[in-house]
Amino acid sequence: MPGLLGLGQLLALVILVLQPTGTLEAQCPIPSIANGQLRSAENFTYGSTATLECDPGFTALGTSTTARCTFNGRWYPRVPSCVPGQCSHPPAVEHADVQHRHEFLVGTTLTYSCRVGFSLIPGVSPATTCLQNFTWSSVPRLCQKVQCPTPVIPHGREASPRREGYTFGQQVEFRCDHGYVLMGSERVQCLSDGMWRPPVPYCDRVCDAPPKITNGQHSGMGVKQFPYGSEVKYSCSEGLSLIGDESIHCTSEDGENLAWSRPAPECRVVRCPRPVVERGRMTPQRFTFPYGLLLHFSCDEGFRLRGAAQSRCRADGTWDPPVPTCQPVVCPQPRIPYGRLKSPLGGRKWYQTNETVTFECLHGYQFSDNGMMPLGDTGTTTCLPDGSWTPLPKCIEEGDADVCQEVHYTKATFECGVPVEEVKTLMEIQKLFLEIKKLELELKN
């Protein structure tokens, strides 16, 4: 019988013999396993198999989770341990991205974010969690295309086909109703922030086409629309004069309706007669005198303008103000204190240029020397081309003349720059001379 025993059985027998309890039942030790436990249908006795069960959220490290209790009281293969479990990559969600990681342990929470041009559907949570059964909590549809508000354009419409909604990336084109002009961009696009760019335009009123005129044209030919503030200029066919304002502009009187600022001008033949100014001139020198021409007038010497110095050719072919005349310059009657007119007799109020009048002083008065005119019975003055007289003579009381002469002489001496000391000496000599003369007279008598 012993010869039939295998080597292993022999060893088991030895252990059994050595067992202090003396029991024949061989048992494997119950290993303490973190986050899990070993389960067996039998009582961990020799030959029994056990299975490792990890706690929820944990997973066995290793491929085999079963072990057998061998006769030498060991588990074979070794019982694996339980480690925290992981989820695989989180599921893909349309138009959304999630953070990238190396591992996703149970309990990890991730948040999805919508891609450019998409926004989170209100009320849904973009988070997912790695559950204990190693699956991700379910994620609903998260992202929808960004919406732009429906563009509103009074007095205009969408030129592009109408759509239900306006989402990210869509373009819209606009047109204005007749009588309106588009201000802003004709085409706009819905951007990722839900705004139209460039901003939605608006339709503004326009002026009607500017009035046409006969024999002339305006700068707005070929222009389709005339928005507020636009200006047109008129011009006439060759040789015709433009009567009125050259340009008009589109404006508003009531703040709402638009109209042209003025009636359109007219194109007509307008000529003014050639102005005739005797004893005068005009500038610029012209042969023709069309509407609008401005002339300047001046007179020959000795004559002065009566009327305006400039005049313009009016639309009715007249000069405005009327062309002036050149009148001879006259001097008013000269008056001399203590003197009277000698010739011409019968004093006049006005005197012609170059006319000379003669004066005499009243009784007891005589002409003063003035330092320039010789003393005499008559004084003269001449009417100058500017309407003034040559310096008028003066009448002074008789007897004052000598004194006056002396004053003039002394004044002249000073003005000559003769030093005061020298004048004093001269005076002294004169005084001595006079005293000698006086003595001589007294001696004679």
Ligand X SMILES: *[C@@H]1O[C@H](CO)[C@@H](O)[C@H](O)[C@H]1NC(C)=O
Q: How far is the CB of 351 from ligand X (least distance, A)?
A: 12
What type of residue sits at position 271? Answer: R
Tell me, residue by residue from 260 to 299, as one string, x for binding to ligand X by CB under 6 A and - for no binding. Answer: ----------------------------------------
Tokens read off for 65: 């989770």
Kindly tell me which of 319 and 351 has the beta carbon lying closer to ligand X: 351
d(CA 122, CA 92): 20
- Classify 293 in phi/psi space as left (phi over 0), alpha (psi -120 to 50) or beta: beta
Applying CB under 6 A, the span of 82-90, 95-103, 131-139, 427-435 interacting with ligand X comes to 131-139
Strands 294-299 and 310-313: antiparallel
Total residues at interface with ligand X (CB under 6 A): 8
The stretch near ligand X (CB under 6 A) out of 13-21, 97-105, 128-136, 338-346 is 128-136
Task: Assess 386 for contact with ligand X (CB under 6 A).
Answer: no
- Based on the shown chain and the rule CB under 6 A, indicate whether residue 353 belongs to the binding site for ligand X: yes
- The nearer residue to ligand X, 220 or 302, going by C-beta atoms, is 302
Cβ distance to ligand X smaller for residue 174 or 351: 351
Q: Which residues are within 8 A (CB) of 358 and not within 5 positions of it... i.e. 6 or more apart?
A: 341, 342, 343, 378, 379, 380
User: Do strands 231-236 and 247-252 pair parallel, antiparallel, or not at all (unpaired)?
Assistant: antiparallel
Cβ of residue 71: shortest distance to ligand X, in angstroms? 17
Question: What are the phi and psi torsion angles at 231 (to 5°)?
Answer: -125, 140
Is position 43 an interface residue for ligand X (rule: CB under 6 A)?
Answer: yes
Interface with ligand X (CB under 6 A), residue from 201, 302, 324, 339: 302
**Residue 97 makes contact with ligand X by CB under 6 A:** no
Which residue pairs, CB below 8 angstroms and at least 24 apart, start in 288-291? 289/313, 290/241, 291/241, 291/242, 291/243, 291/315, 291/317
Quote the distance between the C-alpha of residue 164 and its chain's center. 40
Least spacing, CB of residue 355 vs ligand X, in Å = 9
Q: Is 135 in the site for ligand X (CB under 6 A)?
A: yes
Site for ligand X contains 214 (CB under 6 A) = no
Residue selected from 42, 94, 103, 208 as contacting ligand X according to rule CB under 6 A = 42
CA gap 72, 76 in Å, rounded = 10
Q: Does the footprint of ligand X cover residue 133 (CB under 6 A)?
A: yes
- Nearest approach, Cβ of 65 to ligand X (angstroms)? 19
Nearest by Cα to 175 from 165, 189, 187:
187
Contact segment (CB under 6 A) with ligand X among 127-135, 170-178, 262-270, 290-298 equals 127-135
CA-CA distance, 136 to 87, in Å (whole number)? 7
Q: How far apart are CA 238 and CA 267, in angstroms?
A: 10
Choice between 330 and 373, CB closer to ligand X: 330
The whole-angstrom separation of Cα 37 and Cα 51 is 8
Q: By C-beta, is 59 or 368 nearer to ligand X?
A: 59
Q: Per CB under 6 A, does 354 bind ligand X?
A: yes
Instruction: Scan for tokens 């309407």, then name that residue.
Output: 387
- Shorter beta-carbon distance to ligand X: residue 134 or 338: 134
**Of positions 131, 315, 341, 404, contacts ligand X by CB under 6 A:** 131
DSSP state of 279: T
| Ranges of H-type helices in 242-327 | none
- Of the ranges 11-19, 130-138, 212-220, 358-366, which one interacts with ligand X (CB under 6 A)? 130-138
Interface positions with ligand X (CB under 6 A) = 42-43, 131, 133, 135, 302, 353-354
